[in-house]
A and B are shown apart, each in its own frame.
Chain A
Amino acid sequence: MAIFIEKIKLTNWFNFKGDPDEKTGRNTIVFNEGLNIIIGDNNGGKTKLHNALRYILSDLVILDLNNKVELYPAEGNELEILNKDTFLHLSKNQIVRFGVELEFRKTRRNGESKKYILEKYIEGRKEATSSGKDKFHCTTTISKAYDVDPITKSLLERVGEYEKVRNQLLSPAYMNFFLVEGEQIGLITTMQGSNLQKTINVINPTLHQYNKTFETVSSVKDSIKRLENAEDKRITEGNEEKTNLSKEKTKLTEITIPNIEEKIKILDESNKEWEATIEEYEQKARQSEAKIAQIVKYNTLKEKVKVLERDKENIEVNYINSLIKRGFNISKLSDDILSVRTMDQVSLLMKDNITIRKGELDLSSNEKEIMMLQSLDKSQPNPTILRKMIDDCRCYVCQNEIDYNSKNWIEKKLIPFFEEKDIDDRILKNLNNLKELFSVLNSMNDRKKSLNKSSISELKKELIEINKQKKKASDTVKEFIDSHGELSEKQEDAVNIQTYHKAQNNKIQNRTDHGIEVNELKVNKNRVKELTKLIQGDAAKNPKLERIQNLNKLLKDLDEMFAIKKQEIFEGFAKKLEVSSTLRFKKFLSRNDVAKHQEISVNLIEKSKDFEFQINVKNKFGTIQSQAGGAQDSLTKLSVVFALLDISKERNSLGYPFMADAPSSKLSKPQKESFYEQLSCDDALNQTLLMTMDLFDSKENNDKNLNDLGLKVLNSLSKHQDSSMIFLGVIDNKKPEIGVEVKYLKK
């Protein structure tokens, strides 16, 4: 399959003024199927023609704007492209259009061919701006594709299929290979920057596939890495927590728990001491306590006796007071016979009371004896007489003999009872005093006195009762002292009790503290167990992180493998390019003996995770020979361009037209000769449209204005029927916008 550009028509395209006219050939260039060399002077239209081809293929044109020769979109730069003379002569708001129409043919191997037309125009009108400067106002852009009927030659528009038809003319992937601009941009844009990868992609589609997967792997790897980082962060935070737990555990095991254990140990030791103290002092303390209790009891009894004595005194006082209260007035009584009688009676009563009191005071006699003694009192026994009776052993009353027992009783009981003796008893003393008093009064007044018997009797009863109690109390105290001896509280007892109770209390406090500490120890030990579990649990490997890491390892290895594959492809391509371009280089310099020992080196340089080619000419010793900008450098680049064509031809059977502008302008004369010689018979090329000024010289005197090389090439082309040499020259050198003349030097 081959593509041939048959015709190109230019409308108001740069210097190509006006509409094309196929009949006159104005603005219409017809090409042959082989080598078409387009020559001309500066501004003749060669580069404009190349720009027309580029515009059809890419919407872009090469312009020199602000001294920067670069690719610019046609839209927006209309006035740079629209023929200036045409624009100048436009009236205001007049519609004008400029653009390109290209007719090409696609021929299959079986000889079948089909024609297509691509047309691309920009329409607009001239408008005046406020500053008075005219401007182009774009109204329409037209991009149309047509099938040409092979028989009728009629056109059938392929609506909306401009790009599809255009891609048949030249696939965008091959654009850099077959549309080459020499002077302005540099010949080997295909080897520069991202274009290199595009170039290799065209030659070796594997790279594209690898790159695609490589990008995916990298992207996924980055995502997984982020996932790993997030998981890592999560674990690190967990680890921080774990570190805190470990710190807590260490503090518990190394400080808190040993401290508690030490406290418990100390408490146990002190408890032993308290227990020993308790054991030692328990018996002593109990004895001391019992002793103290007895002392208290003794003191209470003593106190009771004292109270009784005091009560007795009170009763005696009360007795007297009571007598006085009852109006017992001695002076009054002496004048009162009744009172005398009463006094006499009282005197007797006193005597009785004295007897009773004596009886009461006679503690050695029993009640019966006392009663007997008291009854005898009425007979007023005289102790002197009684003693005589004993001596006579005869009772003076009954005259009976007194037996031994009676004698003994009279001597021991009776006589002492009635003997006047000083008895230390206040009541008795009082009674005796009263008796004496009443006796005196009675004897003085010889009158009997009487007192209220009943009241005296009551007092008597009280006194008896008091005495009874006193006796009982005294007896109890005596009995107590006799049975226990004299008790007195000693300091030792207090110490015993105090020590014992202190030990008891301390033991209780100790056990309480011990319980608290044991509980604390238990709590802390449980916490240590819990912490151990938590720490061990977290310390165990994290399965999720492990899975992420495994995946990351795989992705990393795949990433590296793809990087290696990519490098291998680049290296392979560099090697291939090196071989092919060296072959081209040698072909172009077939007449140059030095070149026989030279070859092109293509070195792969890694730059910013990508690759670049460093292309040089080296001599047989491997020394770099290229000089940037020199003829050698241009030829090297040209060799690379043609090497790319060779390689693409190997890879792809499509025969795209090769469209080059000034590829050989910087070559030396001999190099140009070799170049054109080679070009005329180059089997890598299908159709070639080569714009050059290398062969033209306006000062030459021959009718074609060709230089020597031009004539040689023309001569060479004349041998090839499918080649042509086309001259593009401005009609007026001073006013190139007037128009371009198209002249076929060889058709």
Chain B
Amino acid sequence: MSNEKILKEILKEESLQKKYWKDVTVGNENISTASRHKNPNIKVLAILLNDDSKQQKMKNIKNIFNL
């Protein structure tokens, strides 16, 4: 299973959906579109699943949450 499939699987997770992206239509998201999503939680998820290094992931996540 590719990371794209994992992304779709996670986005469909009801418990997470209710908490983190309840008002968002997540139907056709892929890692590329998710990384530009307006919802920061989806952005974080996309970053966690992309091929960047851990350092880069951490940097990008910090940027999203302005940390």
From A205, A206, A224, A554, name the one whose CB has the most chain B CB atoms within 10 angstroms: A554
Question: Chain A residues near B54 (CB, 8 Å)?
Answer: 216, 219-220
Known: A220-B58, A547-B67, A561-B10. A205 touches B49 (CB 8 A): no
Q: How far is the CB of B34 from chain A (nearest CB, A)?
A: 13
Q: Determine if B2 is an interface residue (Cβ-Cβ < 8 Å).
A: yes
Q: Determine if B25 is an interface residue (Cβ-Cβ < 8 Å).
A: no
Question: Chain B residues near A213 (CB, 8 Å)?
Answer: 3, 6, 48-49
Within 8 A of A (CB), among B22-67: 41, 44-45, 48-49, 54, 57-58, 61-62, 65-67
CA distance A660 to B24 in the complex (A): 55
Q: How far is the CB of A40 from chain B (nearest CB, A)?
A: 46
Question: Chain B residues near A553 (CB, 8 Å)?
Answer: 19
CA distance A217 to B41 in the complex (A): 13
Are the C-beta atoms of A554 and B67 separated by less than 8 Å? no
Are the C-beta atoms of A206 and B48 separated by less than 8 Å? no
Q: Determine if A613 is an interface residue (Cβ-Cβ < 8 Å).
A: no
Q: How far is the CB of B26 from chain A (nearest CB, A)?
A: 15
B contacts with A, residue count (CB < 8 A): 23
Q: How far is the CB of B36 from chain A (nearest CB, A)?
A: 18
Known: A557-B15, A557-B19; 18 extra A-B contacts, CB below 8 A, are: A205-B1, A206-B1, A209-B2, A210-B6, A213-B3, A217-B48, A219-B54, A220-B61, A224-B61, A227-B62, A544-B67, A547-B66, A550-B65, A551-B67, A554-B41, A554-B44, A555-B44, A558-B16
Q: How far is the CB of B1 from chain A (nearest CB, A)?
A: 4
Q: Determine if A624 is an interface residue (Cβ-Cβ < 8 Å).
A: no
Are the C-beta atoms of B1 and A220 separated by less than 8 Å? no
29 A-B contacts (beta carbon < 8 Å): A205-B1, A206-B6, A209-B2, A209-B6, A213-B3, A213-B48, A213-B49, A216-B48, A216-B57, A217-B48, A219-B54, A223-B58, A224-B61, A224-B67, A227-B67, A544-B66, A547-B67, A548-B65, A551-B61, A551-B67, A553-B19, A554-B44, A555-B44, A557-B16, A557-B19, A557-B20, A558-B45, A558-B48, A561-B10
Question: Chain A residues near B66 (CB, 8 Å)?
Answer: 544, 547
The residue of chain B having its C-beta at the shortest distance from the C-beta of A206 within the complex is B1
A contacts with B, residue count (CB < 8 A): 23
A544-568 vs B, CB cutoff 8 Å, 1 = contact: the mask equals 1001101101110110010000000
Question: Could you tell me the dominant secondary structure of chain A's interface residues?
Answer: helix
Q: How far is the CB of A504 from chain B (nearest CB, A)?
A: 68
Question: Chain A residues near B10 (CB, 8 Å)?
Answer: 558, 561
Question: Chain A residues near B58 (CB, 8 Å)?
Answer: 220, 223
The residue of chain B having its C-beta at the shortest distance from the C-beta of A545 within the complex is B67
Q: How far is the CB of B44 from chain A (nearest CB, A)?
A: 6
CA distance A113 to B23 in the complex (A): 57
Are the C-beta atoms of A551 and B44 separated by less than 8 Å? yes
**Which of A220, A227, A557 is the one whose CB lies under 8 Å from B57?**
A220
CA distance A224 to B48 in the complex (A): 13
Known: A551-B44, A558-B48, A561-B16. A209 touches B1 (CB 8 A): yes
Question: Chain B residues near A219 (CB, 8 Å)?
Answer: 54
CA distance A216 to B10 in the complex (A): 15
CA distance A547 to B10 in the complex (A): 22
CA distance A216 to B51 in the complex (A): 11
Query: Which 9 pairs from chain A and chain B are nearest by CB?
Result: A206-B1, A547-B65, A551-B65, A554-B41, A216-B48, A209-B1, A223-B58, A219-B54, A217-B48
Question: Chain B residues near A554 (CB, 8 Å)?
Answer: 20, 41, 44
Within 8 A of B (CB), among A512-568: 544, 547-548, 550-551, 553-555, 557-558, 561
The residue of chain B having its C-beta at the shortest distance from the C-beta of A552 within the complex is B65
The residue of chain B having its C-beta at the shortest distance from the C-beta of A212 within the complex is B3
Within 8 A of B (CB), among A198-248: 205-206, 209-210, 213, 216-217, 219-220, 223-224, 227
Are the C-beta atoms of B45 and A209 separated by less than 8 Å? no
Q: How far is the CB of B38 from chain A (nearest CB, A)?
A: 16
Question: Chain B residues near A557 (CB, 8 Å)?
Answer: 15-16, 19-20
The residue of chain A having its C-beta at the shortest distance from the C-beta of B7 within the complex is A213
Q: How far is the CB of A200 from chain B (nearest CB, A)?
A: 13
CA distance A209 to B4 in the complex (A): 10
Q: How far is the CB of A232 from chain B (nearest CB, A)?
A: 13
Within 8 A of B (CB), among A275-313: none
Q: How far is the CB of A564 from chain B (nearest CB, A)?
A: 10
